[in-house]
Amino acid sequence: MNEFLQGGLYGGGIIVAIMSSLLFVLWTERKMAARMQSRIGPTFTDPLGFLQAPADVLKLLQKEDIIPEKADRALFNNAPLLGATVAIAGAAVVPFSATIVGADLEVGVLYLLAVGALGVLPVFAAGWGSNNKFALLGAMRAIAQSVSYEVPLVLAALVPVILAGSMKLSDIVAYQSSHHWLVVWPFFLGIPAFGLFMLAMLAESNRIPFDIPEAESELVAGITTEYTGMKFGLFYMAEYLHTVIASAVASALFLGGYDGPIAPGLWWMVLKTGLLVVAIYWLRWSLLRFRSDQLMALCWRWLVPSGVVLVVGAAVWVVFAG
């Protein structure tokens, strides 16, 4: 029972903290994108535009709820809730400092991959439930892309598991703080695995340069075409949550997590996660999108075999040199 209460309390704190950080993430992204395009970004709500994101939330809360008459109501109405929940669920096993962790599972990495794979269900529920051709096409592309990139993602995540000898995320961070961060040593395994992880993660969460499922010039808005108000808001939120949490996971697996000199662990974790999030948005506003067939070919012909080579390489390194 104590365990249950503790999980709930930590969970509440972590979830509220991440969700509030989203307001800051949104602001950073909009301002950054504006500067990159020689605009000034939101200024209407206050001179810095900081209240724009809360204002957007209020707007979404007040919007009329329109359910298409031909939709499958059960799927259509529950998909946003499931999508947001699955996106948050990943944060449960991420150690934000030596003590702040929702549920430090023995099978942390496996759990993360399971949650990641579960993410295709709300997408399909939304696409099929909307009974809209754009939504369905978007959902099918998203699923094909997500399941394909799941494979290199798992293979990249196996490298830290092999080196640390544990699937528990706090063990992996502890291994890195007692040895080296994985991108520092052995860097010939750590840096490619980190790159592969980030690439697969971007594709799995359908971000640019892999955002074909919601290519607005051909698919309107993909799976969110028929959604209004807060149901749309939950999908939108899930997308940002996914980026933030996946960045936190990447920093725990490859960048030493909460390990760092002088400042307390939580600060380091926030700093590393923040830098990765900024890098992702930098990419988003710099690159164009790929074509579907190029994306699939890239994954199955290049990324999967390189992932396998990395895993075998890590194992050989551990057995003969580590």
Partner 1 sequence: MPSGLALLAFLLVAVAVSGSLLVASKILRVVSTRKEPLKHATYECGEVPTGLAWMRFHARYYVVALFFVLFDIETAFLLPWATIVREAGARGLVAVGSFVVVLMLGWAWATKKGALQWQ
Residue 168 or 207 having the CB closest to partner 1: 168
User: On the CB side of 85, how many CA atoms lie within 13 Å of its CA?
Assistant: 8
Number of C-beta neighbours around residue 148 at 10 A = 20
Residue 137: CB minimum distance to partner 1, A: 9
Contacting residue, 53, 88, 189, 250, with partner 1 by CB under 8 A? 88
Number of C-beta neighbours around residue 273 at 10 A = 27
Question: Taking each helix axis from N to C terminus, what angle separates 133-164 and 304-320, rounded to the nearest 10 degrees?
Answer: 10
Provide the residue type at 60 as one letter.
L
Contacting residue, 6, 20, 43, 286, with partner 1 by CB under 8 A? 6
Residue 102 or 274 having the CB closest to partner 1: 102
Contacting residue, 140, 191, 271, 278, with partner 1 by CB under 8 A? 140
Provide the residue type at 280 as one letter.
I
Question: Considering only residues 196-255, where is the footprint of partner 1 by CB under 8 A?
Answer: 220, 225-226, 229-231, 233-234, 237
Rounded Cα gap, residues 280 and 50, in angstroms: 21
Tell me the site size for partner 1, rule CB under 8 A.
93
74 binds partner 1 (CB under 8 A): no
What length does the chain have?
322
Contacting residue, 19, 118, 121, 191, with partner 1 by CB under 8 A? 19
Contacting residue, 36, 48, 61, 263, with partner 1 by CB under 8 A? 61
Residue 32: CB minimum distance to partner 1, A: 26
Contacting residue, 53, 79, 112, 158, with partner 1 by CB under 8 A? 158
Specify the stretch interacting with partner 1 by CB under 8 A; choose among 25-33, 186-194, 274-282, 291-299. 291-299
Q: Containing H/E element for 52?
A: helix 52-62
Rounded Cα gap, residues 318 and 182, in angstroms: 13
DSSP state of 45: S
Contacting residue, 48, 275, 279, 297, with partner 1 by CB under 8 A? 297
Specify the stretch interacting with partner 1 by CB under 8 A; choose among 31-39, 83-91, 192-200, 280-288. 83-91
320, burial (CB in 10 Å: exposed 0-12, middle 13-18, buried 19+): exposed
